[in-house]
Structure 1
Amino acid sequence: MSLISYNGLSVLRHRNFALYLAARLLSTVAVQMQSVAIGWQVYALTGNVFDLGLIGLAQFAPFFLLILIAGHVADRYNRRNIIAVSMGVQLLCGLLLLAFTLSGLTVVWPVFAVLVLFGSARAFMMPASQAILINLVPIENFSKAVALNSSTFHVAVILGPTLGGLLYLAGPNVVYAAVIALLIAAVVLMLATRAGAQISHREPATWHSLLDGLRFVWSRPVVLGAISLDLFAVLFGGATALLPAYAHDVLDAGPTALGLLRTAPAAGAALTAIVLAFQPITRGIGRWMFGGVAVFGAGTVVLGLSDSLAVALVALVLMGSGDMVSVYIRHILVQFETPDAIRGRVSAVNAVFIGASNELGEFESGVTAGWFGLTRALLLGGVATLAVTAIWMWRFPVLRTMARFPHASDDEKALAQN
């Protein structure tokens, strides 16, 4: 039996899914490398943790303004082309960052301007990327595709920060040059991908059509509970934005240690996603999801209490693992529940929640650290995440008691047979 035919990896037989996966791997590695370089470069220039929060805000503001339009575009136009163009804009961002660095960057506002452009590209890329996955594989392979897609993403998040931290020793210009090369390859691979038939939405963009995704989510308590849990839990647990300051001020370490810290959550998530590719969660859906978020919050508390690199790495690995379980369940719930004609707009709503929990969470962490100090901000964030988990278990009992994925019986039978 060949490796590719074995259980979770059999989905790689689908050529277009494999091409998409390779493009996403390269682009994510590039973005993660770039993120490490930007964080270290900005903190080196200003020494202000508030500026680390502004990095998240600069990406989130255009994302928030454009995401509903992006969802409509993902339902009306070819999703493959949208992803390829978005990667091209990210390539332009890398070129601009390299140009600014080579010209002798002494202020940070040009970096924030590039991040606004990057956030705009990400707004269009995210709903198209979420919606296209189910068009690349047969429905019976979708759960495997979700797990393998997530594991590939987190492998990239492992490689990216580590490579970024190591290359930064030679200067940020070296990091940005590598980012440019990887994004060129990603665009080429994405253009070679051919997705299956897409049910396009041809109505003109109106406020009514733009809000269809939001209305759909609001009408499905299970979907609303799942994605809002991620929003509010991770919003308060945005420790990643503070890692440059944590490495420098608490651990008294340099960019290589920062790369390891940025890598640790992805390592936990990748290992968990690999397990899920071979042993998908099919029972106790609600308990697994809330448990994953609780582990994320507890890991944030441990991080805030620690001044040891080893303990911090373990805490971050656990945070990544818990978050991966939550992401896996939420993605399958949303895609199974959503008709293809509206999938882009529903994915856009989901992307708003994800974007808010990440970029806006980073801004919140920067503000909190500026007010209360670095370690107190981490502790408050972890405790708030645990509190949100408890409140959502009470507020959404249908999600807490969910035993199986809705409408997934055929898929589960196929998984059991493979």
Structure 2
Amino acid sequence: MSTGPGATSAPGPNTPDSPAAVTATAQSAKSSTFSSLRIRNYRLFASGAIVSNTGTWMSRITQDWLVLSLTGSSAAVGITTALQFLPMLLFGLYGGVIADRYPKRRMLFFTQGALGLCGLALAVLTLSGEVQVGHVYLIAFLLGMVTVVDNPTRQTFVSEMVGPDQVRNAVSLNSANFHSARLIGPAVAGVLISTVGSGWAFLINGLAFLAPITGLLLMRTGELHKVERVPRGKGQLREGLHYVASRPELIWPIVLIGFVGTFGFNFPIWLTAFADEVYHAGAGTYGFLNTLMAVGSVAGALLTARRGSVRLRILVGAALLFGVLEIAAALSPSYWLFALLMIPTGMAALTVNTTANASIQMATDPAMRGRVMSLFMMVFVGGTPLGAPIVGWITDTFGARIGFAFGGLISLLAAATVGLVLARVGGLRLSVGWHHGHPRVRFVPREEKRERELATVA
């Protein structure tokens, strides 16, 4: 059974530096950074997404600040985040089964419309002055329920629009799209909160979902790449889990992204706490810090889009760097150093996310992709209900710096552990030496290291 687009045989052990570590190689090396945008259906998808993503970022920033204003608690922000992602933890695999079973374009009409209605409901409550933290909790949970189906459907619909040769490029451009909106959304949200109030940001977010719905309507269905839908049957969840568990190139990236997502991606908690408690600033500063992270994220996404291959060593290295940068930001003595560190932190975070996403999609059979991606998102996003309250409590109890450093330390340890496991699975050893007068640390096959040792003795 093929492991996915571009694969020619069943997968073997995958490691950071071996040829097998190339989870998949884009078959069109000649692809440019924006090659997927040559495809009309994907252009429509991306155009609608930039509008809705901008509204989503406005809503996220506004929601976090609204909860902090209503409660004065970083833990409450963590609870809101946890409620939004709890459905993914509880029901994420079922969303993948639905994505594999039903036409994805048709499902996206319903999910995108439902997300827009949630935004409009929160706008009405806020503009009327009746909003309470319980309302925000409820709508966050409803958003999470819709996302259970929307996320794997949207992720796997990409391959139907662009075909297997462009999956890596399209996944990277999706990330660039999402984080480009982050350059605009937080800044606009900060202005709206300070001038006319939070309700208007929620209203704009609700209306923004008309853009992706319009894009879906204008698509040429005859140009979509046909994917066989999975018929209704028993044991499909177990089949998906067994499929992932038997493939190291799938299970270990998912394990890594689970730890990083659960403990390292709690930026709403940390950045609100730093803006409010450490730097004694307002919503504008919170929006500005998010915008700086977005600058790095966009740069990371565009760099990833240019790569001709997806390697697990890039994933492990980016996760290591991400942990180090979070710890460095937590310990930074000044506001401007903290702010500047948000740029490379955003770049590393985006590289982790995009590399894991693309490598898993490209190593998975099309008929299994919905279930595999739902497991990926369940672990990545669904871990937040477990991590966010813990990180929120640590941040409230010991301060923003300790909370941020804790998340970075967990990410660092997880990356180091998974990297060593992948090296062991692939028969690699750590090699420390000198190259042209400079120290070099890399993984090499055990046989190569043994040969060099024997040569040295001889």
- Normalised TM-score (structure 1): 0.89
2:301 to 273, 280, 286: 273
Q: Which residue of 2 aligns with 1:68?
A: 93
The answer as to 2:420 corresponding to 1:394 is: yes
Contact 2:258–2:380 (8 Å) recurs in 1: yes
Quote how far apart the aligned CAs of 1:200 are. Answer: 0.1
Quote how far apart the aligned CAs of 1:399 are. Answer: 7.1
Quote how far apart the aligned CAs of 1:117 are. Answer: 0.5
Contact 1:67–1:123 (8 Å) recurs in 2: yes
Q: How far apart are the structure 2 equivalents of 1:267 and 1:165?
A: 17
Q: Which aligned runs of 4 or more in structure 1 are off by greater than 6 angstroms? A: 399-403
Quote how far apart the aligned CAs of 1:47 are. Answer: 0.3
Q: How far apart are the structure 1 equivalents of 2:99 and 2:143?
A: 18
Which residue type is aligned with residue 304 of structure 2? L
The answer as to 2:301 corresponding to 1:282 is: no
Q: How far apart are the structure 2 equivalents of 1:322 and 1:399?
A: 25
Q: Which residue of 1 aligns with 2:337?
A: 311
Q: How far apart are the structure 2 equivalents of 1:358 and 1:280?
A: 30
Q: 1:44 to 1:368 in 2, by over 3 A?
A: same
Quote how far apart the aligned CAs of 1:359 are. Answer: 5.2
Q: How far apart are the structure 1 equivalents of 2:281 and 2:308?
A: 39
- Normalised TM-score (structure 2): 0.81
Matches within 5 A, 1:174-323: 174-193=200-219, 194=221, 195-204=224-233, 206=234, 208-242=235-269, 243-277=271-305, 279-280=306-307, 282=309, 285-306=311-332, 308-323=334-349
Summarize deviations over 1:31-72 as a string: whole Å, max 9, x none.
111011111111111101110110111112222222111111
Contact 1:265–1:317 (8 Å) recurs in 2: yes
Q: How far apart are the structure 2 equivalents of 1:369 and 1:201?
A: 45
SS of the equivalent of 1:211 reads: helix
1:112 to 113, 131, 137: 137
Q: How far apart are the structure 2 equivalents of 1:125 and 1:250?
A: 37
SS of the equivalent of 1:199 reads: coil
Q: Which residue of 2 aligns with 1:363?
A: 389
Q: 1:353 to 1:245 in 2, by over 3 A?
A: same
Matches within 5 A, 1:395-410: 395-397=421-423, 398=425
Which residue type is aligned with residue 188 of structure 2? L
Matches within 5 A, 1:38-57: 38-57=63-82
Contact 1:11–1:145 (8 Å) recurs in 2: yes
Quote how far apart the aligned CAs of 1:305 are. Answer: 1.4
Runs of 5+ in structure 2 lacking a partner? 1-29, 430-441, 443-458
Larger deviation: 39-48 or 335-344?
A: 335-344
Q: Which residue of 1 aligns with 2:164?
A: 139
Q: 1:151 to 1:168 in 2, by over 3 A?
A: same
SS of the equivalent of 2:264 reads: coil
Matches within 5 A, 1:94-173: 94-105=119-130, 107-169=132-194, 170-173=196-199
Q: Which residue of 2 aligns with 1:408?
A: none
The answer as to 2:356 corresponding to 1:330 is: yes
Summarize deviations over 1:267-320 as a string: whole Å, max 9, x none.
21111211232x30537x233211111121112112211353322222222122
Summarize deviations over 1:174-216 as a string: whole Å, max 9, x none.
1112112211222222333333212100124x4x212322221
Which residue type is aligned with residue 404 of structure 2? L
After superposition, the CA RMSD in angstroms is 2.2
Q: 1:331 to 1:6 in 2, by over 3 A?
A: closer
Larger deviation: 39-48 or 390-399?
A: 390-399
Q: How far apart are the structure 1 equivalents of 2:230 and 2:300?
A: 36
Larger relative strand fraction: 2
Q: How far apart are the structure 1 equivalents of 2:394 and 2:245?
A: 30
Summarize deviations over 1:156-188 as a string: whole Å, max 9, x none.
222222222222222011111211221122222
Q: How far apart are the structure 2 equivalents of 1:57 and 1:73?
A: 23
Q: How far apart are the structure 2 equivalents of 1:73 and 1:239?
A: 28
Larger relative helix fraction: 1
How many residue pairs match? The answer is 395
The answer as to 2:113 corresponding to 1:88 is: yes
